[in-house]
Structure 1
Amino acid sequence: MRAWTRLAPVVAAGLAAALLVPLMDAQADEAGPVTVVTSTFEDGTTGGWVPRGAEVLSHSTTVAHGGTGSLAIAGRTRTWEGPVLDVLGTFDKGVRYTISVWVRLATGSDSARLSVERRTGGTASYDQVVGNTALTAGAWVNLTGTYTLATDVEYLTVYVETASGFGDLHLDDVTISYVPDTPIQTDIPSVKDVVAEFPVGAAITPAALLGEHGKLLAKHFDSITPGNALKWDATEPAEGTFRFADADAMVTFAKAHGQAVRGHTLVWHNQTPAWVFLDANGNAMTATPENKALLLARLEAHIRGVAGHYGADIPVWDVVNEVIDESQSDGYRRSRWYEITGLDYIRTAFRVTREVLPNAKLFINDYNTNVPAKRDKLHALVALLKSEGVPVDGVGHQMHVNIDWPSTAETEAMITTFVPLGVEQQITEMDVSIYTGNGESFPAPPADRLLKVAYKYRDLFALYRRYATEITSVTVWGLADDDTWLDTFPVTRKDAPLLFDTRLQAKDAYWGVVDPSKIGTTTPAPTPTGGATAGACAVTYRVTGQWQGGFQGDVKITNTSAAALSSWTLGWNFTAGQQLSQLWGGTGSQSGTTVTVRNASWNGTLAPGASTGAGFLASWTGTNPAPSAFTLNGTACTSA
Structure 2
Amino acid sequence: MRALPRLALAALTAAATVAVVSATADAAADPAPITVLTSDFEDGTVQGWAGRSAETLAPSTAVAHGGTNSLLVSGRTATWQGPSLDVFGTFEKGTAYTISVWVRMASGSDNARLSVERHTAGVASYDQVVGNTAVTSGAWVNLTGRYTLAADVDLLRVYVETASTTESFHIDDVTAAYVPALPVQTDIPSVKDVVTEFPVGAAITGAETVTEHGRLLTKHFDSVTPGNALKWDATEPTENTFTYTQADPLMAFAKANGLAVRGHTLVWHNQTPSWVFTGADGQPMTATAENKTLLLGRLENHIRNVAAHYGTDIGVWDVVNEVIDESQPDGMRRSTWYNVTGLDYIRTAFRVAREVAPHAKLYINDYNTNVPAKRDFLFTLIQQLKAEGVPIDGVGHQMHININWPSLVDTESMLTKFMPLNIDQQITEMDVSIYTSNSETFPTPPADRLLKQAYVYRDMFALFRRYSSEITSVTLWGLADDNTWLDTFPVTRKDAPLLFDTRLQAKQAYWGVADPTKIETSASPSPSVSASVSPSTSTSTGTGSCAVTYRVTGSWPGGFQGDVKVANTGGVALGSWKLAWQFTGGQQVSQLWGGAVTQSGAAVTVTNATWNGSLPAGGSTSLGFLGSWTGSNPVPAAFTLNGTTCTVL
Residue matched to 1:14:
none
Ranked by relative contact order (alpha carbons within 8 Å, sequence separation 6 or more), the top structure is: 2
Asked if the contact 2:291/2:340 (under 8 Å) is kept, the reply is yes
Structure 1 residues 251-262: aligned runs within 5 Å: 251-262=251-262
Is the counterpart of residue 615 in structure 1 residue 618 in structure 2? no
Number of equivalenced pairs: 614
Residue of structure 1 equivalent to 2:13: 5
Over the matched positions of the two proteins, sequence identity in percent amounts to: 72
Does the CA-based 8 Å contact 1:588-1:598 persist in structure 2? Answer: yes
Equivalence map 1:446-525=2 (5 Å):
446-520=446-520
> Match of 2:436, as an amino acid?
T
Distance 1:9 1:612, change over 3 A: closer
Do 1:451 and 1:520's aligned partners in 2 also have CA atoms closer than 8 Å? yes
1:571 aligns with 2:586: no
CA contact (8 A) 2:12 2:270 kept: no
Residue 117 of structure 2 corresponds to residue 112 of structure 1: no
Please state if 1:538 is matched with 2:547. yes
- Contact 1:9–1:115, Cα closer than 8 Å, also in 2: no
Pair 1:592–1:352, CA change in 2 (3 A): same
The match for 1:379 is: 379
1:25-58 per-residue CA deviation (whole Å, 9 max, x = no partner) reads xx99433211111111222212222222333222
Determine whether 1:423 maps to 2:432: no
Aligned equivalents of 1:242 and 1:328: distance in 2? 35
Cα 1:607/1:409, change in 2 over 3 Å: closer
Other structure's SS at 1:539 match:
strand
Alpha-carbon distance in structure 2 between the residues aligned to 1:545 and 1:175: 23
Shift in Å at residue 315 of structure 1? 1.0
Structure 1 residues without counterparts, runs of 5 or longer? 11-26, 523-533
Which residue does 1:59 correspond to in 2? 59
Partner-residue secondary structure (3-state), 1:546:
strand
Within 5 A, what are the aligned runs for 1:17-32? 29-32=29-32
SS at match of 1:245: coil
Distance 1:395 1:219 in 2: 28
1:301-328 per-position Cα deviation (integer Å, ceiling 9, x unaligned): 1111111111111111111111111112
Deviation larger for 549-558 or 141-150? 549-558
Tell me the amino acid that sits aligned with residue 271 of structure 2: Q
Letter in 2 for 1:138: G
C-alpha offsets along residues 400-433 of structure 1, whole Å, 9 cap, x if unaligned?
Answer: 1111111111111111111111111111111111
Query: What is the CA deviation profile of residues 166-219 of structure 1, one whole-angstrom value per residue up to 9, with x for unaligned ones?
Result: 332121111111112111111111111111111111111111001111011101
CA distance in 2: counterparts of 1:569 and 1:334, whole angstroms: 49
For 2:351, the equivalent position in structure 1 comes to: 351
Counterparts of 1:561 and 1:454, CA distance in 2: 27
| Residue 172 of structure 2: aligned partner | 172
Q: Which moved more, 1:258-267 or 1:627-636?
A: 627-636
The one-letter code sitting in structure 1 at the alignment partner of 2:476 is V
Q: Distance in 2 between matches of 1:341 and 1:366?
A: 20
Q: Which amino acid counterpart does residue 475 of structure 1 have in structure 2? A: T
The amino acid across from 1:589 in the alignment is: T
SS in 1 for 2:117: strand
C-alpha spacing 1:99/1:350, structure 2 compared with 1 (3 Å):
same
Deviations 1:444-475 (A, max 9, x none): 11111111111111111111111111111110
Does the C-alpha gap of structure 1 residues 613 and 29 become closer, same or farther in structure 2, counting only changes over 3 Å? Answer: closer
Paired position in structure 2 for 1:526: none
Where do residues 321-340 of structure 1 align in structure 2 (5 Å cutoff)? 321-340=321-340
Please name the residue that 1:598 is paired with. 607
Distance 2:498 2:143 in 1: 25
SS at match of 2:395: strand
Partner of 2:365: 365
| Residue of structure 2 in register with 1:630 after alignment | 639
Q: 1:255 to 1:165 in 2, by over 3 A?
A: closer
Shift of 1:116: 2.2
Residues of 2 paired with 1:636 and 1:392: CA distance?
A: 64
1:245 corresponding residue in structure 2: 245
Name the structure 2 match of 1:38: 38
Distance 1:587 1:302 in 2: 53
Residue 594 (structure 2) pairs with residue 588 (structure 1): no
Partners of 1:9 and 1:118 within 8 A in 2 = no
Q: Could you say if the C-alpha distance between residues 563 and 285 of structure 1 is closer, same or farther in structure 2, counting changes exceeding 3 Å?
A: closer
Offset at residue 607 of structure 1 (A): 4.0
Following TM superposition, by how much is the alpha carbon of 1:541 offset from its aligned partner in structure 2, in angstroms?
1.3
8 Å Cα contact 2:303-2:353 kept in structure 1: yes
Distance of aligned partners of 1:340 and 1:404 in 2 relative to their CA distance in 1, 3 Å threshold = same
CA change 1:273–1:245 in 2 (3 A) is same
- Cα deviation per residue 1:108-146 (whole Å; 9 max; x = unaligned)? 222222222222233322322212222222211111111
**In 1: Cα distance, 2:638 partner to 2:573 partner:** 22
Task: Output the TM-score relative to the length of structure 2.
Answer: 0.90
Counterpart for residue 185 of structure 2: 185
Distance 1:358 1:605, change over 3 A: closer
Aligned AA for 1:591? S
Match of 1:23 in 2: none
* CA apart distance, 1:577: 4.0
Give the direction of change, closer, same or farther, for the CA distance of 1:99–1:8 in structure 2 (3 Å limit): farther
Change over 3 Å in CA distance of 1:51–1:623 after alignment to 2:
farther
In 2, Cα distance between equivalents of 1:511 and 1:202:
17
Cα pair 1:75 1:168 within 8 Å, conserved: yes
Paired residue for 2:229?
Answer: 229
Going from structure 1 to structure 2, the CA distance change for 1:109 and 1:536 (only over 3 Å counts) comes to same
1:156 aligns with 2:164: no
Secondary structure (helix, strand or coil) at the match of 2:57 reads strand
Aligned residue type for 1:159: Y
Specify whether residues 154 and 207 from structure 1 end up closer, same or farther in structure 2 by C-alpha distance, changes over 3 A only: same
TM-fit CA distance, 1:625: 4.3
Q: Provide the alpha-carbon RMSD of the alignment.
A: 2.3
Contact 2:17/2:207 (<8 A) preserved: no
Matched, 1:140 2:146: no
**CA-to-aligned-CA distance 1:202-256 (integer Å, 9 cap, x gap):** 1111110011110111011111111111111111112222222332222222222
Q: Could you tell me how far apart the structure 2 residues matched to 1:408 and 1:639 are?
A: 38
